[in-house]
């Protein structure tokens, strides 16, 4: 189920984007011990004029940036999340994004808030619910 949504500045060749998908997938598999078939990566190319940095739109010479969102069924350990942030950040090098220009957000979804194949993750016996998240924090 891990889904990575990568928001990147436009202007990368198809080969670079394919490589990014590959290394993001590998990062998730390595960090979370997730089955490769369960990992989904979505690339969103953002026009530079729509990518704001320090209150201004990025320009042609602006160094590439990436914002990576990881959607996970709740229940991963803090250590897994730390590894995921590290590995996703490193993966952005596939499109020449420096580590300091990568933002990673992890979103834990309670098992009743995620569905797969017409069933909730809870019905499939995966992850943890909202009550466990509240007591976990």
Q: What is the pLDDT of residues 53-103, one digit of tens each?
A: 899 999 888 899 999 999 999 999 999 999 999 999 999 999 999 999 999
The SS3 of residue 70 is strand
Indicate which CATH number applies to the domain containing 107: 3.30.429.10
Residue span of the structural domain in which 75 resides: 3-136
Task: Determine if the pTM surpasses 0.85.
Answer: yes
Strands 102-109 and 66-73: parallel
Distance CA 53, CA 56 (A): 5
What total number of domains does the chain contain?
A: 1
2 is catalytic: yes
Residue in 2, 35, 64, 110 annotated catalytic: 2
């Amino acid at each position: 189920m891990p889904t990575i949504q990568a928001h990147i500045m436009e202007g990368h060749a198809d080969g670079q984007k394919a490589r990014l998908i590959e290394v993001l997938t590998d990062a998730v598999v390595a960090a979370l011990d997730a089955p490769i078939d369960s990992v989904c990566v979505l690339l969103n190319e953002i026009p530079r004029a729509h990518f704001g940095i320090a209150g201004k739109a990025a320009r042609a010479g602006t160094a590439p940036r990436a914002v990576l969102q990881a959607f996970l069924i709740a229940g991963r350990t803090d250590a897994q999340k730390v590894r995921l942030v590290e590995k996703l950040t490193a993966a952005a090098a596939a499109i020449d994004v420096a580590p300091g220009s990568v933002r990673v957000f992890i979103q834990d979804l309670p098992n009743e808030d995620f569905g797969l194949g017409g069933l909730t993750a809870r019905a499939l016996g995966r992850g943890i619910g909202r009550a466990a998240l509240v007591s976990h924090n």
